[in-house]
Chains A and B, each alone.
Chain A
Amino acid sequence: MRPIIAASLFVVPGLASAQNLQPPAGVPGETGRFGVATEINADNTPGDANSSFKIRASGSYYLSRDVLVQPGFVGIEIAADSVTIDMNGYTIRGFFGVGGFGIAPQDGASAQTFTGFRLHNGHIREVQDGFSARRPIPQQGETVLEEALVEDMTFDVTRQGVQLDGGVVRRCAVRTLGDGVIMIGGIVRDSSVTLAGTGRGGGFGLSEASAVNCIVRADDPTDKSGFSGLRSSITECTAVAVADGFVLIDGMAARCYTSAPNAVQFLGQVSFFDCNFP
C-alpha cells in the first residue's frame, strides 16, 4: 500500500505539469522582493538630541554610507514596529572609549515595546554597546525591541556586543572588551565571540534561552568565561582559551566542548550529554 501512495505523490504533480498554465484572473499581487526601501539619511530619518538617525515609521531601510556616532549618542534609534535595516555592508562607528550605542530603541518619556525589528549585513564598532534591545527610561522602566532578528553582522565594541530580548541572533561575529552576546529568551546560533583585552568578560550569557553551534575564545583567558546559562540549553558549542568554560544554573549542555581549566560549574538541575569537558 505504501509504495502505491508514494508513487502517486510523484505521478500527480507530473500530470499537473502537463496541463496548460492557468494564471489567476486579475492583476498580479506585490511580491515584496523588489519593494521600495528608504535610505537612512538626514532627510529621511533625522536624528534627535541623542541619536545620529532615528527611524520613526515601519518599513525597510538601508545604509549607503558609514554612520558616525557622537560620544554618548545612538547611531540609529528605533521608534516603530516592523523595521528592517539592511546595512548594505557599511559600518556604524563610534569613538573608542567614550560610550555610545550602535543601534537601540528610542529613549522617550515613557516605556514602550516595539516588535518586528530585523538587522543584517554590516559592521558596528568602537561603541560601548553594539545592538541593545533594551533602553532604560528613568523611573519608567525600559523601552524594548522585542523578538528582534540580528544576522550576518560583525561587532567590535567596548562593553557589550549584542543584547536581545527574545528573538534570534545568527551568523554574527563579536569582538568585545566586555561581554559578547546576552540573550533573555530567544536563540543564538552559528555565532562567535572573541573576548579581547585583559579585564573580566563573558562570551554568551543566556537566560531561558538557547545557544546552538557557537564558539568563544579569549585573547587572555584570565577572568574570562565562555557560556553562562540560567534555565537555558547549550548545544554543539565550543569554549577555548577561557578560564571558565560552561556555567549552568538549571538547564542542559549537549555535544559541547571546552579546553578551559575550569570546564564546568553548575547549580540546580543540570544535564550534560555527549560533552568533552577535560
Chain B
Amino acid sequence: MHASVRFVVAIVAMVSSAAHAAAGSQPVRPPAGPVADTGRFGPRTEINAANTPGDNDSVFRIVSPGSYYLAQNISVPAGFAGIEISSSDVTIDLGGFRIAGFFGEGGVGIRVASQQVQIFTNIAIRNGIIRQCNRGIEVGNFGVSGIEAHNVLISGIKMDLVRSGVFARRAVIEGCNVRAREIGYSLIESMINGSTAVLYDSGATSVAFDLAQSSANDCTAASEDNASGSVGFELTTSRVGSSQAAGVPIPFRLQFTSLATSCYGIPAAGNSVSADSDVFDSNFGGMTP
C-alpha cells in the first residue's frame, strides 16, 4: 500500500474516533493601577549594539533564539549585512524601520550566516524597509555555501533600489514589494503570495520572479524600462496562479512541467511555454499552448 493511501486511511480512522459580554456598548472603566503589557509591545529584545553586536561583516548579529525588533534605522556599509542571523527560532520585527546601504556599494539587508555549514529553521522576518543593498534578504544560498534557513516566513517587507530582492528556499513570502535591477525573488521550494516585483535599469538576464519547485499566487511583475530579454515569471517545475506580468518583454516563461492558471501576460509574443507545461484560463494574447 502506498504511503499516501495509508495517510488517507489514518485520517479516516481519526474521523471515526471522533459567554460573550456586551462590552461594546458599555462605558470604558479602566482597571486601577498601572496599565498591563498588552503583548503587542511585549518584552522582546531590541536589536542594537549592546544586545546584538555585529562582527567583521555585520552591523548586528543575532546568535540566540528569540523575538527581536528594530527601534531605529540601520545603515549598512559596503560588504556588510545589516542584520546577520546565526540561530534558529528567530523572529525579527523591523517595526517599520529601514535598513539602507549605500547605492552601488554592495551590502545585504538581512542574511543567515554561520562559521560552519548549517541549516537554521523557523525564522520570521516582518514589517520594514530595505533599500540600496546588493541583496535585500538572503536566507537561501541554494547549496553554494550550505548555510541556509528553512521554514522561513517573510511578510510585509518593501525593498527598493536593490540589485536583487529575496533569495530563499523553503519559505513562505507574503505581501512584499521589490524594486530590483536583476532579480526580484529567487525562490526554491517556496511559496509567494500577494507580492510585486518591479525591474528597473534591467538587462537581458533580469527576472522579476525566478521560481524553481515553487508556487506564486496573486503576484504582479512589471518593468520600468522593458529591457530586451528580461522576464516576468520564470518557472521551472513550478505553478503560478492569478498573477500578471505587464510591460516585461517575456511576461511568462514556463519550463519543465510547470503550470499557469488565471494569469495575464502581455506582450503575447514573448511568452514561452514548454510542451510539457500547461496554461489554463489565462490571457496570453490568444496564445494556446
Question: Chain A: residues with CB nearer than 8 A to chain B?
Answer: 26-30, 32, 34-39, 58, 60-66, 81-82, 86, 88-91, 93, 121-123, 125, 134, 142, 152, 154-156, 165, 171-175, 179, 182, 184, 190-192, 194, 200-202, 205-208, 213-215, 217, 223-226, 228-230, 236-238, 240-241, 243-244, 247, 249, 255-257, 259, 262, 265, 274-276, 278
Contacts and interface: CB of A to CB of B under 8 A. Distances in A.
Query: What secondary structure prevails in chain B residues at the interface with A?
Result: mixed
Nearest to B89: A91
B153 to A, nearest CB: 6
Contacts of A226: 4
A238 B39 contact: no
B215 A171 contact: no
B135 to A, nearest CB: 21
9 contacts: A65-B43, A88-B39, A125-B88, A156-B122, A171-B155, A192-B171, A225-B3, A247-B2, A259-B237
A188 B18 CA distance: 20
Nearest to A206: B11
B223 interface: no
A214 B14 CA distance: 22
Interface of B: 2-8, 10-12, 14-15, 17-20, 23-28, 31, 35-40, 42-44, 65-68, 88-89, 91, 93, 121-124, 150-153, 155, 170-172, 174, 189-191, 193, 213-215, 217, 237-239, 241-242, 256-259, 261-262, 276-278, 280-281
Given A194-B151, A225-B4, 13 more contacts: A26-B27, A64-B43, A66-B65, A91-B66, A123-B122, A190-B191, A213-B241, A214-B191, A217-B170, A224-B3, A236-B261, A244-B4, A247-B8
Contacts, number: 258
Contacts of B19: 58, 81
A61 B36 CA distance: 12
A154 B215 contact: no
Nearest to B218: A213
Contacts of A194: 150-151, 170, 189
Given A91-B65, A91-B122, A152-B153, A27 B3 contact: no
Give me the 10 closest cross-chain CB pairs, A-B, nearest first: A62-B39, A89-B67, A89-B91, A225-B4, A274-B280, A202-B7, A244-B4, A276-B259, A257-B239, A27-B27
Nearest to B152: A173
A73 B155 CA distance: 32
Given A27-B27, A225-B3, A90 B66 contact: yes
A236 B217 contact: yes
Given A142-B17, A156-B121, A259-B257, A30 B2 contact: no
B191 A192 contact: yes
B11 A215 contact: no
Contacts of B3: 200-202, 223-225, 243-244
B219 to A, nearest CB: 12
A194 to B, nearest CB: 5
A179 B14 CA distance: 14
Contacts of B191: 190, 192, 213-215, 238
A89 B44 contact: yes
A265 B5 contact: yes
Given A156-B121, A238-B238, A241-B213, A249 B66 contact: no
Contacts of B37: 37, 39, 62, 64
A278 B275 CA distance: 11
Contacts of B26: 29-30
B124 A207 contact: no
Q: Which of B14, B172, B239, B262 has the most CB of A within 10 A?
A: B239
A208 B66 CA distance: 37
A165 B18 CA distance: 10
B217 to A, nearest CB: 5
A229 to B, nearest CB: 8
Which of B10, B88, B89, B281 counts the most A-chain CB atoms under 10 A from its CB?
Answer: B89
Given A244-B3, A265-B4, A276-B258, A37 B36 contact: yes
